[in-house]
């Protein structure tokens, strides 16, 4: 890829794809054999190998695929280094072939030779030849088998002008006449003048069918995994757009990061691009790595803690400071001497991200928070998959671990989403029922009959007052019926309804009832008829013969929206007062519907003077209420009742 690969989290995507060399087989014209390239010497007999037993054993007739994991390497260029009988006991040993030259103490530019000894157990034939599958590192390579040039990738050069960039994937078939039983030498001549540092990719040996079966099987697993993760991310992103939930957005970003880590590699290998073009695909991969590194701990913190928003920017800044140098490596903007620093930084940040997730999940399990155990099981599965892959070299364990993590997180978030939808529907249903009860209470025959009786009495005594009462009653009923279909109303509209009701009650009781406001803008948005309901409770608590009553609706200073309704009238004795359960249930249901778990209500039933206070800690939660109502309305339009 041309850049130092990050471990831990990034290994979940990059290691398998690079190690497996997934991609289409190179056509015969692109993968030269011994008949396509000049030979340097005749093939020596197996007994000519003098440097001891082979490091790796290959059985062409079996289903096993051998990964060449250890190489001897040396900087320089001598044609004799391709010969099997050349002594290489003083060469350096690279147990991590994917490491860049700078990590092995070699110069970044020039030519490096790699050698490994292979023991063939059985003879290959023309129907089942020995094959190699290679995922190359920058920039050009020549492949020698027992001193014979069998394939080339690009053009190896001693200078940048002589070198021509090769492609990232290659399939090579070793001529069967060179693959008799015994020990053989596999050598690579690698040059790099383009990238920040050179290296050697993953090399696998085996029969044609085992190699193809291994590649296609792991390719199918990878595509399946990307499909599952992509669908889950799209689903929760759609839910985020409808419900504005931060955890859904972060989970969608995790899925997006996984897709960005995999799809660019898929297209790069599918079209077998050159290293010059591959840097753009690599940039997308490291962008995905940064998204995962940033979103994974934030997703756990958002779901199981109440971290301040400013810390999200801190985590994003730390992640960017680690990922941006990797992007700079792609375009050779940072010297190779910093490769090890960036690699260690990637390790530390990756382990820190996992540690944060484990710590937050452990605390959530201790506090018995919802879905904490599912998240913990997913993390343990991911760690188990990575550990088994690192210790035992199993390439299929980490995708299973990552899939398990996404599966557990998806299950937990789906359960939460279902529970919240049910709770929201229950709140809506409860609010609708209480609206009906409240309308019954205010438009019940007793209320209308009493008002009509008052009108009848006033028609004989004072026709003008009777006419005012009829007009005020009609206005109040019209306003109430209009407000019952609204989700929220302005405080001015609510105050107008309260004043109209006070006018009706004042004319009926032959006393002055009024409402004053203080520090109220009028643009505040509240659920309809909650102040009207509280004011009705305040009227019931006051003595009927105590003269005029003036209510005061004021906005108090403080965080959020704080409204208080009060009056100074003398209250009834305690034994004559009681709590109106229907009215309070209606107010609480309306507040919970619009501001879920972000409100407080205090109604001073036994306090003098009487007051009721509503405190809304987060008025912006109203946007969530409106979004949910709109989504529910659209769903109702799409699924009408029969």
pLDDT tens, residue by residue, 436-470: 565 555 545 556 667 777 777 777 788 888 888 88
pLDDT at 73: 92
Q: Report the distance separating Cα 472 and Cα 477, nearest Å.
A: 9
pLDDT at 546: 65
- Give the model's confidence band at 396: pLDDT under 50 very low, under 70 low, under 90 confident, else very high: low
Is the model's pLDDT at 153 over the cut of 90? yes
pLDDT at 636: 40
**Per-residue pLDDT tens digits for 572-627:** 777 666 656 667 877 888 888 788 778 889 886 555 688 899 998 887 766 555 55
What average pLDDT does the structure give for the chain? 77
Q: Report the distance separating Cα 390 and Cα 69, nearest Å.
A: 13
Is the model's pLDDT at 334 over the cut of 70? yes
Angle, CA 331 vertex, CA 328 and CA 333 arms, to 5°: 55
pLDDT at 415: 85
Query: Which domains, from first to last, does the chain contain?
Result: 22-201 (2.60.120.260), 217-422 (1.20.1070), 444-638 (3.30.565.10)
Residues 6+ apart with CB under 8 A from 304: 360, 361, 363, 364, 369, 372, 375
pLDDT at 29: 30
Cis peptide before 139 (omega within 30 of 0): yes
- Give the model's confidence band at 529: pLDDT under 50 very low, under 70 low, under 90 confident, else very high: confident
pLDDT at 14: 34
Nearest CA among 374, 617, 412, 251 for reference residue 420: 412
- Give the model's confidence band at 110: pLDDT under 50 very low, under 70 low, under 90 confident, else very high: very high
24-38, 229-243, 431-445: least confident range = 24-38
Query: Taking residues 225-251, what's their average pLDDT?
Result: 82
DSSP annotation of 331 reads T
pLDDT at 553: 92
**Per-residue pLDDT tens digits for 612-640:** 999 988 877 665 555 555 554 444 433 33
pLDDT at 244: 66
Is the model's pLDDT at 302 over the cut of 80? yes
Residue 451 structure tokens: 């008002």
Strands 56-58 and 110-120, how do they pair? parallel
- The C-alpha torsion from 524 through 529 and 531 to 534, rounded to 10°, is -160
Query: Taking residues 260-266, what's their average pLDDT?
Result: 81
Q: Which residues of 37-51 are buried (b: 16+ CB within 10 A; e: fewer)?
A: eeeeeebbebeebeb
Proportion of the chain above pLDDT 90, given as a percent: 15
Is the model's pLDDT at 45 over the cut of 60? no
Q: Report the distance separating Cα 61 and Cα 51, nearest Å.
A: 26
Is the model's pLDDT at 504 over the cut of 90? no
pLDDT at 194: 83
Q: Report the distance separating Cα 262 and Cα 285, nearest Å.
A: 7
Residue with the bigger pLDDT between 494 and 218: it is: 494
pLDDT at 17: 35
Q: Report the distance separating Cα 198 and Cα 99, nearest Å.
A: 9
Where helices occur in 444-580 by DSSP H, the ranges are 445-461, 463-483, 491-509, 530-541
- Give the model's confidence band at 10: pLDDT under 50 very low, under 70 low, under 90 confident, else very high: very low
Nearest CA among 158, 169, 179, 154 for reference residue 204: 169
118-127, 155-164, 316-325, 386-395: least confident range = 386-395
3-state secondary structure of 497: helix
Proportion of the chain above pLDDT 70, given as a percent: 79
Q: Which residues of 305-337 are buried (b: 16+ CB within 10 A; e: fewer)?
A: eeeeeeebeebeeebeebbebbbebbebebebe
pLDDT at 81: 95
Cis peptide before 609 (omega within 30 of 0): yes
Query: Taking residues 521-535, what's their average pLDDT?
Result: 86
> Which pTM was predicted?
0.59
> Which of 292-296, 466-470, 552-556 is predicted most confidently?
552-556
pLDDT at 293: 81
pLDDT at 594: 81
Q: Is residue 623 within 8 Å of residue 577, measured between CB atoms?
A: no
Q: Report the distance separating Cα 435 and Cα 429, nearest Å.
A: 10
pLDDT at 157: 92
pLDDT at 544: 74
Q: Report the distance separating Cα 589 and Cα 434, nearest Å.
A: 8
Query: Taking residues 330-353, what's their average pLDDT?
Result: 75
Phi, psi of 30 (to 5 degrees): -95, -15
**Residue 49 bridge partners (DSSP):** none
pLDDT at 102: 78
pLDDT at 516: 92
């Amino acid at each position: 890829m041309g850049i130092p690969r990050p471990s831990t989290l990034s290994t979940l995507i990059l290691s398998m794809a690079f190690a497996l060399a997934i991609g289409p087989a190179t056509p015969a014209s692109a993968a030269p054999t011994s008949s396509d390239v000049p030979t340097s010497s005749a093939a020596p007999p197996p007994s000519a190998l003098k440097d001891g037993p082979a490091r790796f054993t290959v059985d062409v007739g079996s289903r096993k695929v051998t990964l060449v994991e250890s190489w001897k390497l040396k900087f320089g260029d001598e044609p004799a280094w391709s010969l099997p009988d050349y002594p290489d006991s003083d060469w350096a040993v690279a147990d991590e072939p994917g490491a860049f030259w700078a990590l092995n103490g070699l110069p970044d530019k020039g030519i490096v030779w790699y050698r490994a000894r292979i023991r063939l157990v059985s003879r290959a034939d023309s129907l089942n030849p020995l094959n190699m599958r290679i995922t190359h590192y920058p920039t050009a390579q020549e492949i020698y088998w027992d001193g014979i040039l069998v394939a080339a990738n690009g053009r190896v050069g001693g200078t940048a002008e002589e070198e021509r960039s090769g492609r990232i994937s290659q399939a090579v078939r070793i001529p069967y006449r060179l693959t008799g039983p015994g020990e053989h030498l596999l050598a690579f001549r690698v040059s790099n003048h383009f990238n920040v540092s050179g290296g050697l990719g993953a090399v696998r040996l085996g029969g044609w069918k085992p190699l193809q079966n291994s590649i296609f099987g792991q390719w199918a697993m990878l595509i399946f995994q990307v499909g599952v993760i992509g669908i889950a991310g799209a689903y929760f992103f759609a839910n985020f757009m409808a419900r504005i939930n931060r955890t859904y957005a972060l989970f969608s970003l995790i899925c997006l990061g996984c897709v960005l880590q995999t799809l660019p590699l898929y297209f790069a290998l599918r079209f077998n691009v050159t290293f010059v073009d591959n840097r753009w695909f690599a940039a997308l991969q490291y962008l995905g790595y940064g998204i995962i590194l940033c979103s994974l701990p934030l997703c756990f913190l958002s779901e199981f803690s109440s971290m301040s928003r400013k810390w999200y920017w801190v985590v994003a800044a730390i992640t960017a400071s680690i990922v941006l140098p990797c992007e700079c490596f792609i375009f050779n903007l940072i010297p190779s001497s910093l490769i090890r620093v960036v690699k260690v930084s990637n390790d530390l940040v990756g382990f820190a991200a996992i540690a944060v997730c484990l710590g937050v999940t452990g605390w959530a399990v201790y506090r018995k928070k919802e879905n904490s155990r599912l998240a913990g099981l997913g993390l343990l599965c991911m760690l188990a998959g990575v550990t088994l892959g690192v210790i035992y070299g199993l390439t299929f364990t980490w995708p299973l671990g990552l899939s398990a993590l996404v599966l557990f997180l998806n299950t937990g978030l789906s359960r939460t989403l279902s529970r919240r939808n049910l709770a929201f529907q229950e709140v809506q249903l409860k609010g609708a029922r209480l609206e009906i009860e409240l309308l019954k209470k205010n438009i019940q025959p007793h209320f209308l009959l009493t008002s009509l009786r008052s009108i009848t009495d006033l028609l004989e005594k004072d026709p003008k007052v009777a006419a005012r009462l009829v007009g005020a009653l009609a206005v109040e009923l019209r306003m109430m019926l209009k407000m019952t279909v609204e989700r929220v109303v302005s405080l001015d509209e609510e105050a107008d309804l309260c004043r109209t009701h006070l006018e009706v009650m004042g004319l009926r009781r032959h006393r002055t009832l009024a409402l004053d406001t203080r520090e109220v803008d009028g643009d505040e948005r509240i659920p309809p008829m909650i102040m009207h309901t509280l004011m009705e409770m305040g009227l019931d608590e006051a003595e009927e013969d105590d003269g005029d009553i003036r209510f005061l609706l004021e906005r108090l200073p403080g965080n959020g929206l704080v409204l208080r309704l009060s009056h100074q009238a003398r209250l009834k004795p305690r034994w004559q007062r009681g709590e109106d359960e229907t009215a309070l249930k209606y107010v609480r249901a309306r507040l919970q519907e619009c501001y879920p778990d972000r409100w407080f209500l205090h109604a001073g039933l036994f306090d003098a003077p009487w007051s009721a206070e509503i405190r809304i800690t987060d008025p912006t939660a109203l946007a969530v209420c409106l979004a949910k109502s709109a989504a529910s309305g659209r769903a109702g339009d799409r699924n009408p009742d029969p």
